[in-house]
Amino acid sequence: MSVVAFAQLLLPDSPYAMWVGGELEEYLRLPDDGTRVEVVGGEIVVSPAPVYAHGGILSDIQESFLAARLRDSAFPWRAVQTINLDLIEIGDGYTPDMVVVSKDTDAEKRAEDVLHLHPHEAELVVEVTSSSTAGHDRRPMFGRQVKPTKWSGYARVGVPYYLLVDRDPRQPGVTLLGGPDRGEGTYEVLGEWKFGESVRLPEPFDVEITTDAWKPWSA
């Protein structure tokens, strides 16, 4: 069973500083099997490699952006999977399932061979939930103790758009979020779709994504 680990350790530096320096994963002695380490709300979060269906959804999204590029040589966007995003303003470090950047940013970062992107360089982030990470991808739950999530983190650093693909069998679907409120750490809902419906990303993307093969995770 997939689990997500939360760590409170005596570290030589802050989790964020070690993550930025590329030292955190090595310090935790994580296996080289796709295990992902992130810093969310200042806490270390270690999650397992995703299942095949998770990767298939990301491939579908990436292929939709590629198809738009093939139709129009001037199409300005590139979709890239699992790139580290340095949220220096809030001291967090995420690895989104996918980021969408301009073709100029894509060319620049390829040439520089960088370790991280920064929020102002991402136009859209994509997260596909799994049973172990869904709570971090969604809006913070309001209750006795509200913990930051990647949803609130992306909003606080001003990422313009957030596409959330939720595979939870209790609430499967796709949500496009935009208009980040950096002070409140919230987004507006711009569109919602059920699995099987075509997702239309509006301008500035103008991309249609087919979701016929998308399914909830196994209960």
In the predicted model, what is the mean pLDDT of the chain?
Answer: 92
Range with the poorest average pLDDT among 20-24, 99-103, 142-146, 158-162 = 142-146
pTM metric for this prediction: 0.92
> For the chain, what's the residue count?
219
Q: How far apart are CA 45 and CA 81, in angstroms?
A: 19
Domains detected in the chain: 51-209 (3.90.1570.10)
Question: Residue 141: its pLDDT value, please?
Answer: 81
Q: Are 121 and 91 in contact (CB under 8 A)?
A: no
CA dihedral of residues 138, 120, 88, 181 (deg, nearest 10): -50
* Residue 74 C-alpha from the chain's centroid: 26
Question: Residue 145: its pLDDT value, please?
Answer: 63
How large a percentage of the chain has pLDDT more than 70?
94
Specify the 3-state DSSP secondary structure of 140.
coil
Confidence band, pLDDT 50/70/90 cuts, at residue 9:
low
pLDDT in tens, 15-58: 999 999 988 988 888 888 888 999 999 999 998 889 999 999 99
Specify the 3-state DSSP secondary structure of 137.
helix
pLDDT in tens, 159-184: 999 999 999 999 999 999 999 999 99
Question: Residue 74: its pLDDT value, please?
Answer: 95
